[in-house]
Amino acid sequence: MRPRLTPQRLPEWSTRHPRLTIALTAALTALFAAWLPGMRTDTDSKNMLPATSDVRVLNDRVDQWFGLHKDMIVVGIVRERGIFELDALESLERLTSAIAGLRGVVSVDVTSLTTADNVVAEGGMLRVEPLLPRVPETPEQMERLRRSLMGNPMVVGRLVSEDGTTTAVYVPLERGANGKVVADQIRDLLARERTAGLQYFVAGDPVARDTFGAEMFRQMAVFAPLAGFVMLIALHFMFRSFALSLSIMAVAMVASSWSMGLLVAVGQPVHIMSSMMPVFLMAIATDSIHIFNEFYFRLRETSDRRQAVLETMEAVGAPVRYTALTTAAGFGVLALGGIIPVRVFGLFVGFGTMVIRLMSFSLVPAVMMIVPDRTLETASRREDLQAGASRWLGALGRLSIRHPLAVLAAGAVLLAMVATGIPRIRINNNMIHWFKPQSPIAVADRVMNAKLGGTSLLHLVASTPEAEGLKDPARLAYVEALQREVETDEDVGKTVSVVDLVKRVNRVMQEDRPEQEVLPATREIVGQYLFLFGMAAKPATLENLLDAESRRANVWVQLKSWDAGAVERVVGRVEAYTKSHPPPALTVQPAGIAYFNLVWNHEVLKDMVRTFLVALVVVLAILVVSFRSLAWGLLSFVPLLFTIALIYGAVGLLGKDFDMPISVLSTLSLGMAVDFPIHFIRRYRQRLAEGQSVADALVWTVARPGKGILRNAVLFSLAFAVMLASSLTPYITVGLFIMTMMTLSAVFTLLYLPALVALRPVRRAPANAGFAKEG
Amino acid sequence: MLKRAAVVIALTAAVLPGRQVHAQEPPSAGTILAKSQQAFFYAGSDMKARVLMTLTSASGQKRVRELTMLRRNEARGGEQKYFMYFHQPADVKGMTFLVVKYARKDDDRWLFVPAINMVKRLAARDASQSFVGSDFTYEDVSGRDLEADGHTLLREERVGSRDCYVIESIARSPAQYKRKLAWIDRNSFLPIKEEYFDAKDELFKTFSADEVAEVGGVPTVTKRTMVNQKTGHTTTVVFTDVAYGLGIDADIFSERYLREPPRKWVQ
């Protein structure tokens, strides 16, 4: 051993001054934790893309051109026997004005039947007024209202459903208003509306987004401690020492405090992604289990406590260091990506991982020094290769050494079966799917999409180079044709543009006959119609459809699905149409929240895929370098590849989207699934270097460090099983994913590595001499 | 008309002694506003002006509306007639608009659309209706029934070089605002500044009289601005060629002249 090896000195020092080590750790942790009260949270997943990103700049501009608002909540009122009844419309009227009075709502632009402009002809007089100026009193009046609304293409599918059972209130939010807060206020209002037979629903992107953000933080505050508690109990069963069990949790808490504290200190807000850091760090901290595992075995072999600790650290030091390194690298690679909150997340989890590593060599040995003798004696007595898990693990090891080909073939078959799912993976994100199907948000979205044109809003902005250019009937006709084309898509429920308005005015300016609902012949007429409309209507009605210079028209496209894939299809349809039907000096640009979701999907998820692939290479490189051997590096990579291939194959086969939660987990899985092989191979090669035969060394590795691996996997699974109780599907996904990943990775490590090694020609690893020095 | 003139004289007389009046009880809020309406919306027996409205969006996009406006006060209870001829934007040149305003009922409005050679009657709608897409409502242009609000004189305050009454009006019948603060010049009784508050009592609109000039002895706001504080949208209105007491014929304000605008008044 070379004298300069400080990592080895750290355990020496901390075992000599265990209490001082603990005190120092506590002091440093307090220092970092002091920053925590200054924490700012950012629950808005939109902020995954910076405000300066192209799509956000575009959307800001489109909002300005057309006086649009960033976010819109949709409130649905449903009565199955029909909405055209006195009490139902009165309820709508009450709600509309109550909602307009809520803080965070753009009062003047709250749109429902009682506020939306409608152009009608009435005894030679042109009237522009709310669709529902006053609730009709007689059945005849009601019937007349129903007929006039159902015959108005600007209304049907948007404000009233085609079957007349549903009406909607569109609630634009002020900049910076929180969708969940406003939605909660609306729900309070709805709770006070007790009109018989009416059902109310609250849907829309800001509700889903902000509810998810808020819930995520809330549930993290519940599940992180809960998972910690479960782990603590499990650890106690494994090691029978409260102090030792607690020290693993302490490592997790120290790492969380340091990295969260540092995050706050550098002025970063805690984003929905970084809110998951404590859970991830807790998972990573369980790597310390390998230290305890070995320590208990060592205790049986030597009577000197400090000796046992130092030997343990020497034996597991290298694997612990390298597993930390690969995990940190797996996350660190995220910093190469283009998404800032993901970079922050990667960097700080990476930092936390290094803190865990530091604690493994300081805090953990220190705690091992001060645990009372009696506790340890009783506990370590149970650690015997001939007993318990070690015994059947040994049998398992012998099995795979004896029948390596059979074991490998079985694995290959399984892999081949599941791997067919990989090409089927769809990169797609749908925020509604982040809620359980029976949750109010998912139900509201489903009902509204079934009844009305759709809750997801896409804008198609048609621009001309010439001012007043969109008053040209030829261009308007093109916009109309584009609307009809887009409407052929199954997920497009409704489109509205200035064309619909001009046609409407044309009709009422004449004899108000349906066949007169067409575009007029000249630019002049269009101009005067629009001016006329502008004299009578709310300015916003026209502004939302046509910019001030009549250079750009805004087509509102309502989608029935929040799938990024659906938006992509519609945008593709527009592109194809403009190619096959060249427009008259007109360009069409998609925008709006649906387009944002599409770009977000591309940028964030594809970025994740890219960094994931880079991480794979980086981890492999670290393995090869650390083992000083390409063969060992590749070998240690096998369980990881198997695990990932199986999981993603299953994701593909089950038809589950490769979405945000899954993509975050990919990098996590990388860093963690490779831990077990590292422990296995390192310990196996140490054993081999001690002069054992290949078969004996393998069986020993499966039985002894293998028990640590198994413990680690069980611990993980238990902790993350807690998350299955969450109401947010991403947490359930996280829970399931990690449970599966750790179990598979453990199984593949314990089953396949022995088989693969057994197949190799017996050969001493050339880097044996390096083991001690590498540490 | 004589009556009207008498009122103006009486008003002037009331205002002129200045300091002495100040020392006495201030007039009631209702009296101040009545005088203000008179000075702002009813000045002269009739009036002609060239009006240039510039609508500027928050992003700086500008639109222009240019019109000639003729206004005639009728003898009966505050009735007024407005005739408007649009010069700009270019594609609406020749459109004309006729409004008859009554004190206690909805306006009558007619519009001539030259492109299809048709006069159409337009129904008036709620008080908050925008005037030709600007930040001014019809009420901002032609006045609101004073009895539709409850008024309180809050204080007196200087705005720039002017001594003003500050009056709070709270809407009793439907309005665009829930509450409005007006700074009314003690001398001219013209509104110098107004602030409008919405149902949530948030400031959403501000008015300012940017330039005031004497036209034939009548103090006239020749430049005014309305800013929508929520959207940043702004409308600036400049009056040129203002003239009062021209003796504009009553029959100018008819459908016939909508189709054939009177050359004498509209160039």
B216 φ/ψ angles, rounded to the nearest 5 degrees: 55, 40
Task: Report the complex ipTM.
Answer: 0.84
Q: Measured at the alpha carbon of residue A206, what is the angle toward residues A458 and A457, in degrees to the nearest 5?
A: 10
Of A213, A259, A217, the C-alpha closest to A47 is: A213
| Cβ(A325)–Cβ(A622) below 8 Å | yes
Neighbours of A115 (CB within 10 A): 22
pLDDT score at A3 = 41
Split into its structural domains, chain B has a count of: 1
Q: Does B97 touch chain A (CB under 8 A)?
A: yes
| CB crowding B4-29: b at 16 or more within 10 Å, else e | eeeebeebeeebeeeeeeeeeeebeb
Question: In a mutagenesis test of the A interface, which of B55, B56, B66, B125 is the best target, namely the one with the most A β-carbons within 10 Å?
Answer: B125
Min distance B169 CA to chain A CA atoms (Å): 20
- Read off the pLDDT band of B68 (50, 70, 90): very high
**Cβ separation of B121 and A122 shorter than 8 Å?**
no
Tokens of A522: 């000249």
Per domain, the residue ranges of chain A are 1-34+240-377, 54-209, 384-419+628-775, 444-598
Single-letter amino acid code for the residue at A766? P
Contacts of A345 (CB under 8 A, 6+ apart): A271, A273, A274, A276, A277, A331, A334, A664
| Cβ(A715)–Cβ(A671) below 8 Å | no
Question: In a mutagenesis test of the B interface, which of A535, A544, A545, A547 is the best target, namely the one with the most B β-carbons within 10 Å?
Answer: A535
Q: Which residues of A touch B179 (CB under 8 A)?
A: none
Chain segment B196-231, per-residue pLDDT in tens: 998 888 898 999 999 988 888 888 999 999 999 988
β pairing state of B62-73 and B46-56: antiparallel
Of residues B59, B113, B132, nearest to A65 (C-beta): B59
Q: Which residues of B touch A535 (CB under 8 A)?
A: 97, 111, 122, 131-133
**Cβ separation of B116 and A525 shorter than 8 Å?**
yes
Tell me if B99 is assigned to some domain: yes
**Cβ separation of A548 and B199 shorter than 8 Å?**
no
Number of H helices, E strands in chain B: 5, 13
CA distance B224 to B236: 6
Neighbours of A445 (CB within 10 A): 30
Min distance B164 CA to chain A CA atoms (Å): 31
Min distance B119 CA to chain A CA atoms (Å): 10
| Cβ(B224)–Cβ(B208) below 8 Å | yes
Q: Where does A101-204 have alpha helices with state H?
A: 139-150, 179-192
Give the residue, A41 or B126, on which the prediction is more confident.
Answer: A41
Tell me if B266 is assigned to some domain: no
CATH architecture of the domain formed by A384-419+628-775: Up-down Bundle (1.20)
Per DSSP, A464 falls in state: -
Per DSSP, A546 falls in state: B
| Cβ(B145)–Cβ(A556) below 8 Å | no
Contacts of A5 (CB under 8 A, 6+ apart): A773, A775
CA distance A642 to A111: 54
B166 φ/ψ angles, rounded to the nearest 5 degrees: -110, 115
Residue B45's domain spans which residues?
2-259
Chain A CA closest to residue B65 = A531
Q: Does A229 touch chain B (CB under 8 A)?
A: no
**Distances in Å between the alpha carbon of B3 and those of A167, B73, B190, B218?**
55, 12, 21, 17
Residue owning tokens 């609101």 = B144
Judge residue A28's burial from the number of C-beta atoms within 10 Å of its C-beta, 0-12 exposed, 13-18 middle, 19 or more buried. middle
Of residues B86, B92, B199, nearest to A100 (C-beta): B199
Of residues A127, A531, A547, nearest to B92 (C-beta): A531
Q: Domain containing B117 — which CATH number?
A: 2.50.20.10
CA distance A728 to A735: 11
Min distance A182 CA to chain B CA atoms (Å): 14
pLDDT score at B21 = 46
Fold agreement between A1-34+240-377 and A384-419+628-775: yes
Over the Cα atoms of chain B, what is R_g?
18
| Cβ(A404)–Cβ(A758) below 8 Å | yes
CA distance A201 to A441: 8
Q: What is the largest CA-CA distance in chain A?
A: 106
CATH class of A1-34+240-377: mainly alpha
**Distances in Å between the alpha carbon of A756 and those of A405, A676, A762?**
9, 15, 12
Q: Does A185 touch chain B (CB under 8 A)?
A: no
Tokens of A93: 């009227």
Of residues A108, A522, A548, nearest to B115 (C-beta): A522
Per DSSP, A125 falls in state: E
Q: Does A485 touch chain B (CB under 8 A)?
A: no
CA distance A220 to A631: 41
Q: Measured at the alpha carbon of residue A516, what is the angle toward residues A510 and A517, in degrees to the nearest 5?
A: 115
Task: Check pLDDT > 50 for residue B9.
Answer: no
With a cut of 70, list the residues of chain A below it in pLDDT.
1-8, 133, 378-388, 760-775
Of A508, A507, A486, the C-alpha closest to A495 is: A486
Residue owning tokens 């593709």 = A572
* Bridge partners, B137 (sequence order): B130
* Bridge partners, A435 (sequence order): A728
Question: In a mutagenesis test of the B interface, which of A524, A530, A546 is the best target, namely the one with the most B β-carbons within 10 Å?
Answer: A524
List, in sequence order, every beta strand (DSSP E) within A447-575. Answer: 456-463, 492-496, 552-559
For the stretch A301-309, contacts whose Cβ atoms lie closer than 8 Å and that sit 24 or more positions apart, written own/partner, are A305/A368, A305/A369, A305/A373, A305/A376, A306/A15, A306/A16, A306/A369, A309/A11, A309/A15, A309/A365, A309/A368, A309/A369
